[in-house]
Amino acid sequence: MTLKASIKSMRLRTLPLSLAGVILGVTLAADKTDVSPWTAALIFLTTVCLQILSNLSNELGDTLSGTDSADRQGPKYALGSRDMTIGDIKKLILMFIGLCVISGLAMIQVSFGSLFKTESICLEALGAAAIVGAMKYTLGKNPYGYRGLGDVFVFIFFGLVSVLGGSGTAATDYASAGLCHRMLQCRCAECQQHKRHEDGCGEPRDRGHQTRNEGCENIPDRPDRIGLDPDAGLLRDL
């Protein structure tokens, strides 16, 4: 088994399609909250591992079932070109199952802060289903790909699971939740300081009973305070 043969069977050209759904999900989450780069990276890595696992399992399943033979039309992969044996590709499949598990658990830990929360356990069950789904397309007994259900599972895993799972995992990032809380606290403090400034330019209101604009020459109490001439309706020089 060579590196070149292994990369050929991984079918790397399929990765952009598999990443499209999770990229959309992470983008949707980033529009609402701060997303940890570590969480996003682990989401992408887990997706890549699942896609390669699916490609390897697909090649093995097609070979064992006789779908891929010497008469195959199109590109020949490692098994068809005799660059790898069935034992070699089984080892690769086992390796990527392990990578999917490690990457997926790390993603859940970083995102939720624990592997034992209810949300974490649900995501772990979904990850196990994704591993089985990636392998059962053409591999094993009664594979769903040979029963005309391939498009249904593609919609589920490449559509719903990729977008909603990616968005939910990224949006509930444990570290980001603390960051958002600190940002909210800072914003509240800023609003309180601004209110005190509006009430009396930072001075206590009972100190000489200052009016709103006393000592506040730089903040005119007129509609043109933002640079608009109230008479002409045009921008004027500040």
- In this structure, of 20-34, 93-107, 146-160, the range with the lowest mean pLDDT score is 146-160
Cα-Cα-Cα-Cα dihedral sign, residues 66, 69, 75, 80? positive
pLDDT in the model for residue 209: 46
Q: What is the mean pLDDT of residues 9-15?
A: 92
pTM metric for this prediction: 0.70
Class of residue 77 by CB neighbours under 10 A (exposed 0-12, middle 13-18, buried 19+) = buried
pLDDT in the model for residue 63: 86
- Contacts (Cβ under 8 Å, ≥6 apart) of 163: 21, 22, 24, 25, 28
Locate the DSSP E strands across 42-95: none
**pLDDT at position 158 over 70:** yes
User: How far from 128 is each of 63, 70, 98, CA to CA, in Å?
Assistant: 25, 34, 12
Contact 56, 133 (CB under 8 A): no
How many residues are listed for the chain in this entry? 238
Give the other-Cβ count within 10 Å of 119's Cβ: 14
Distance spanning both ends of the chain, measured CA to CA: 74
